[in-house]
């Protein structure tokens, strides 16, 4: 608590109208949005690295953004960081009646279902599915809304059965491609991605993170192709598809050995 109070004092000093930092004084909630996103992504990367010291550092950077935003609100007499903490404290107690009251649950899935019921009652939600931010990644959003529908029993029994929906959507996509109906094909691609996200959810895999790993893997393998061609005094613009595919397979084989 002592260090947290010190952080609040440092932030107050940085925002002092006369003696503060020019850059910090120029910030607003709007200008901080990009830093919030950046720090969140850096924290995720640190977690994936498994390096405790890096995770600790990035947690501090995320905390700074929270304290900064709360400070801006406090300066306009809207709310303070203490109000933020009090609000989340109340929410955690309210949404865990099996811990702080007499409710009984059997397993994590029932806890999740109860959380959604309490949330729906608190906010007088007209739907089980929440209104999520438009900036939320679409694969992650698909995972969340399908999970909420699952909470009331609208779901597949298991991932294997959900795979049948992927097969169905692929066939529908092929039909639209053959017919040259681009707009309909776009709709089918959306349905296919949603079906894949559903299978990932049932396997307890985050589809957003899974795709991020594949993006990195593709980038690494393609850069291997570029590197090998460069050794030959060539670049990708001079290589045939067959040559690039052979190097792609080499990249996969060498990674499997390592």
Three-state SS annotation for 200-227: HHHCCCCHHHHHHHHHHHHHHHHHHHHH
Pair 149, 129: CB distance under 8 Å: yes
Residue with tokens 């720090």: 39
Residue with tokens 């905390």: 63
- What is the spatial distance between Cα 226 and Cα 237, in angstroms, rounded to a whole number? 10
**pLDDT tens per residue across span 232-245:** 999 999 999 999 99
Pair 21, 14: CB distance under 8 Å: yes
**pLDDT tens per residue across span 244-253:** 999 999 998 8
Sign of CA dihedral 163, 164, 167, 171: negative
51: Cα separation from own chain's centroid: 20
Ordered domains of the chain (ranges, CATH): 2-93 (1.10.287.1080), 139-205 (1.10.287.1080), 209-257 (no CATH)
The first and second tokens of residue 175, run together, are 């039909």
Query: Could you give the count of Cα atoms lying within 13 Å of 158 in the half-sphere of its Cβ?
Result: 1
* pLDDT at residue 42, rounded to an integer: 95
- Per-residue pLDDT for 258 more than 60? no
The pTM of the full predicted model, rounded to 2 decimals, is: 0.70
* pLDDT at residue 256, rounded to an integer: 63
With CA atoms as reference, report the closest residue to 142 among 210, 211, 208.
208
- Per-residue pLDDT for 15 more than 80? yes
């Amino acid at each position: 608590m002592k260090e947290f109070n010190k952080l609040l004092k440092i932030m107050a000093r940085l925002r002092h109208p006369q003696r503060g930092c020019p850059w910090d004084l120029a910030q607003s909630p709007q200008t901080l949005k990009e830093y919030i996103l950046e720090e969140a992504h850096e924290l995720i990367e640190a977690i994936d690295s498994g390096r405790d010291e890096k995770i600790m550092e990035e947690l501090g950077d995320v905390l700074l953004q929270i304290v900064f935003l709360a400070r801006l609100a406090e300066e306009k007499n809207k709310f303070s960081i203490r109000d933020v903490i009090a609000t989340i404290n109340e929410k955690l107690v309210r949404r865990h009646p099996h811990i702080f009251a007499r409710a009984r649950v059997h397993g994590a899935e029932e806890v999740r279902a109860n959380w959604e019921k309490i949330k729906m009652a608190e906010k007088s939600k007209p739907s089980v599915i929440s209104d999520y931010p438009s900036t939320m990644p679409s694969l992650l959003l698909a995972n969340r809304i399908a999970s909420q529908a699952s909470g009331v029993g609208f779901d597949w029994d298991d991932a294997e059965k959900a795979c049948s929906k992927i097969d169905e959507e692929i066939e529908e996509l092929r039909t639209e491609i053959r017919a040259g109906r681009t707009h309909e094909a776009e709709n089918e691609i959306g349905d296919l991605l949603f079906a894949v996200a559903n299978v990932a959810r049932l396997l307890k895999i985050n589809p957003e993170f899974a795709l991020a790993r594949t993006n990195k893997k593709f980038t690494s393998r393609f850069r291997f192709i570029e590197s090998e061609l460069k050794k030959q005094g060539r670049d990708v613009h001079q290589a045939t598809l067959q040559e690039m595919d052979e190097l792609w397979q080499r990249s996969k084989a060498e990674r499997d050995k390592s």
